[in-house]
Amino acid sequence: MALVLESSRPAAKTSTANPSHRSPSSPPPPATTTVVAISFQTAVKSETKNTLQRISSSFHPAKSGRYPVLLFFHGTSIKTSFYSQLFKHISSHGFIVVAPQLYRLLIPPACMELNSAEAVADWLLKYGLEGHLPAGITPDFESGLALAGHSRGGRTSFALADKRTAESAKTNSEVHSSALLPRSGKDLNLSVLIGVDPVAATMCCATMPDVHPETQCFKFDVPAAVIGTGLGGSCAPESGNYAQFFKRCKPPKRAEFLAPQYGHMDVLDDNPPGNGSCFSCVSALMTKCMCKNAKGLSRECMSRTVGGIVVAFFKAYNNKYPDPSDLNAIQNNPGLAPAELVIPNSESA
């Protein structure tokens, strides 16, 4: 029996598992192969009470149904459309992906970025994408919300989870620390938190989110995964890279992955378009020149590997129907992934 994880690397092998079980890195079944991408603009209010216009990208399966939601925050001055390969892969496995453009070229201080991200999360959980999805496509918040981000956006995701956990603890000492935001009078649980090469040691006052003085761990106990790159270099310095985030996540519900042959920007599309607006041109140039990138390797392999990990990690900690089989398969045999993958540390779901 074999669990097929399609890989573009000849060395990829199969491992024992149910043949009917589909891995997150394999091609999706016909029912969910088609993915629909939409863009919409919303007016949200930040903590400073300012009304902010946010343009968001959204990807969802074409087939009608209820799907869990992934809220994804972009990296430094990166256009959200440059993650289309990653978002399409995740969405093809039955997810609604929402990616707000928190800012453009002018990088805000970390606190302002956090406030903006929090405002978007509040809006999402309050209105549930009503009016922005076609009939038949429904967000499934009961399965939980997946929160993720790349680079500086990864730091923002962790900071948001930490902030809301601290606020929940002050309001009600008995509330579960993964309770993120209320919706329709109920607490909505954050299922998982994922950092894609998260970075804390960057410009504009971006620091590592606070930790408990006694434990030196983040305040939240949400299952957390970090995915690092071997060529991060100056774009992901060791003083605040993925490994530092992993160390501060509470065991045992945490996981660490490393793609040693890839760079900090290699989770983006192979050829992000640099035409149109000044923002598109500069952002596209930054993704190609600002950081060290993999040579002679397709970025699609990296985006499919990251997407597979995101899907597998969420499935393992789904609030309603947890299924750790895909996550365990990846951790037990990282050679199944499309890109070379190392597991520096792993804790079974």
Catalytic positions, written as ranges: 151, 197, 264
Give the whole-angstrom CA distance, residue 78 versus residue 157.
Answer: 16
* Nearest residue to 309 (alpha-carbon basis) of 98, 99, 86, 141: 86
CA dist., res. 33 & res. 56, Å (int): 22
Does residue 146 contact residue 314 with C-beta atoms inside 8 Å?
Answer: yes
Give the single-character DSSP code of 93.
T
Q: Is 234 exposed, middle or buried (0-12, 13-18, 19+ CB in 10 A)?
A: exposed
Can you say whether residue 317 is alpha, beta or left, with left for phi > 0 and alpha for psi between -120 and 50 degrees? Answer: alpha
Cα–chain-centroid distance for residue 124? Answer: 16
Backbone angles phi, psi at 187, to 5 degrees: -80, 135
